[in-house]
Amino acid sequence: MAKNDRANFGSKLGVILASAGSAVGLGNIWRFPYETGNHGGAAFILVYLGCVLFLGIPIMIAEFSIGRHSRANTARAYQILAPGTPWRWVGRMGVLAGFLILGYYSVVAGWTLEFICEAATNSFAGKSATEFISSFNGFVANPWRPVLWMIAFMLATHLIIVKGVEKGIERSAKVMMPALFILLIILAICAVSLPGAGAGIEFLLKPDFSKVDGNVLLGAMGQAFFSLSLGMGCLCTYASYFRNDTNLPRTALNVGFIDTMVAILAGFIIFPAAFSVGIEPDAGPSLLFITLPNVFQQAFGSLPWLAVLLSVMFYVLLALAALTSTISLHEVVTAYLHEEFNLSRSKAARLVTLGCTILGIFSSLSLGVGKEYTLFGMTLFDFFDFLTAKIMLPLGGLFIAVFTGWFLDKQIVWEEMSNRGTLKLPLYKAIIFILKFVAPVAIGFIFVNELGII
């Protein structure tokens, strides 16, 4: 196999950590716990595991195959594999989705920086439950602070992107991902050893199957896509930097495993802690920014230094997880502009950073001074979230499965998955079956249901 002059990840570990870095993010630590809480705990987790294994991993293998075979940004990838067909619009939609996701994800990522500062200056101390709510709401609606933090976060992302694939993305993931695991494990041990944590552990481990309904099923599938970074060519772009000897199915299994472990560990931090201080698990999206600081105070209030240390650690963890994800979103758009419009990489990156910052300013302001300006009855922030997570990602995932299962030459699919026949691939037929039939039907079902058509 000829080596090409395109950028490549330098090592197998780098490939896994960078891809896992994309997958592990606010989706695992912020969204997964509140979805689990809203959907009744252990039973939701079991359904989620099924979705990761039977839908997420096969689609991830498909994205990897498309990306590595074409060795191009996700828009060009479809032009190379299916020249002159409308499939190129799937890639272009992915680039647009990446741009839009970054435009609101960076706002929440910025909040993590504010919370690191608040935790470090011990400003959670002595607040009552209502004060936690009003200070969070006041912060989010402030026209300056969240905007400045969002810009800081975009700049951090930019600095890593301009360093390139191996020196920027890969090297930063090799530092940040292990740091994240260590922080997660320390925090989980602290949380499960709190008095009264048992109820939280039971909530996570004892499934109540009477709670599984269509809604749980759909929530779990949507969460799996978002959390695994699927449906918009993010992992397809990363795979275009994989080496020819990278084992695609095994990498997908590893990434799926790491992503799931982080989500579950996040659950083992948040629920035992919340139950131990008597907070309900279904607090929703505010669980992480209102409930959790309150938990740290109540649980460790008598040892203020420990409360400060653990809460700083937690928000640093969240910021690191978010950063490796914003990098992957940024890279999708940067690679596209760089390769399609003949811009230098740094110029392309500057344009993406500028564009996303502008979008981020609008989405941040839409939670405060711009509340009245709505689109389809949603603030701009909620609209970007809805449009991407609920429409563009399921649609993208559906097209990726159909493209790989039905249109792409099976010789290409087989060569990529088996590294030209050098790997044993006992599950090849099962993966193709899922891509052809199971995934399109299942995703079609979420898509239609989320739009309220049935």
Which residues form the interface with ligand TRP (CB under 6 A)? Answer: 22-23, 25-28, 101, 226-227, 229, 231-232, 234, 325, 328-329, 393
At its nearest, how many Å lie between ligand TRP and the CB of residue 195? Answer: 32
Strands (E) across 232-382 are located at: none
Nearest approach, Cβ of 62 to ligand TRP (angstroms)?
A: 14
Q: How far is the CB of 328 from ligand TRP (least distance, A)?
A: 5
CB of 381 to ligand TRP, least distance (A): 16
95 or 279: CB nearest ligand TRP:
95
Residue among 294, 319, 362 nearest 100 (CA):
362
Amino acid at 382: D
At closest approach, how far in Å is the CB of 260 from ligand TRP? 11
Question: Residue 300 or 315: which CB sits closer to ligand TRP?
Answer: 315
Which one, 229 or 366, has the nearer CB to ligand TRP?
229
231: alpha, beta or left? (left if phi > 0; alpha if psi -120 to 50) = left
DSSP 57-98: HHHHHHHHHHHHHHTS-HHHHHHHHSTTSTTHHHHHHHHHHH
Please report how close the Cβ of residue 77 comes to ligand TRP at its closest, in angstroms.
15
CA-to-CA distance for 212 and 231, rounded, in angstroms? 25
Specify whether the CB–CB gap between 125 and 304 falls below 8 A. yes
Q: How far is the CB of 410 from ligand TRP (least distance, A)?
A: 27
370 vs 397, beta carbon nearer ligand TRP:
397
Taking 3-state DSSP, the helix, strand and coil percentages for the chain, each rounded to the nearest 5, stand at 75, 0, 25
Nearer to ligand TRP, 127 or 390 (CB): 390
Orientation of helix 248-276 relative to helix 12-23, angle to 10°:
40
Residues 149 and 110: beta-carbon distance below 8 Å: yes
Shortest distance, position 397 Cβ to ligand TRP, whole Å: 10
Give which of 4, 15, 2, 36 is closest to 272, Cα–Cα: 36
Q: Which is nearer to ligand TRP, 104 or 136 (CB)?
A: 104
Which one, of 436, 15, 5, lies nearest residue 252 by Cα?
A: 15
Nearer of residues 239 and 308 to ligand TRP, judged by Cβ? 239
Instruction: Compute how many other C-beta atoms are within 10 angstroms of the C-beta atom of residue 138.
Output: 11
Least distance in angstroms from the C-beta of 307 to ligand TRP: 26
Our CB check for ligand TRP shows the closer of 90 and 232 to be 232
Residue among 349, 324, 308, 338 nearest 126 (CA) = 308
Nearer to ligand TRP, 17 or 232 (CB): 232
- Smallest CA-to-CA distance from 169 within 7, 318, 359 is with 7
The strand ranges marked E within 270-339 are: none
Q: Give min distance, CB of 230 to ligand TRP, in A.
A: 6
Task: Output 234 or 380, the one with its CB closest to ligand TRP.
Answer: 234
- Contacts by 437-441 with C-beta closer than 8 Å and gap 24+? 437/405, 438/54, 438/55, 439/55, 439/58, 439/59, 439/397, 439/398, 439/401, 439/405, 440/398, 440/401, 440/402, 440/405
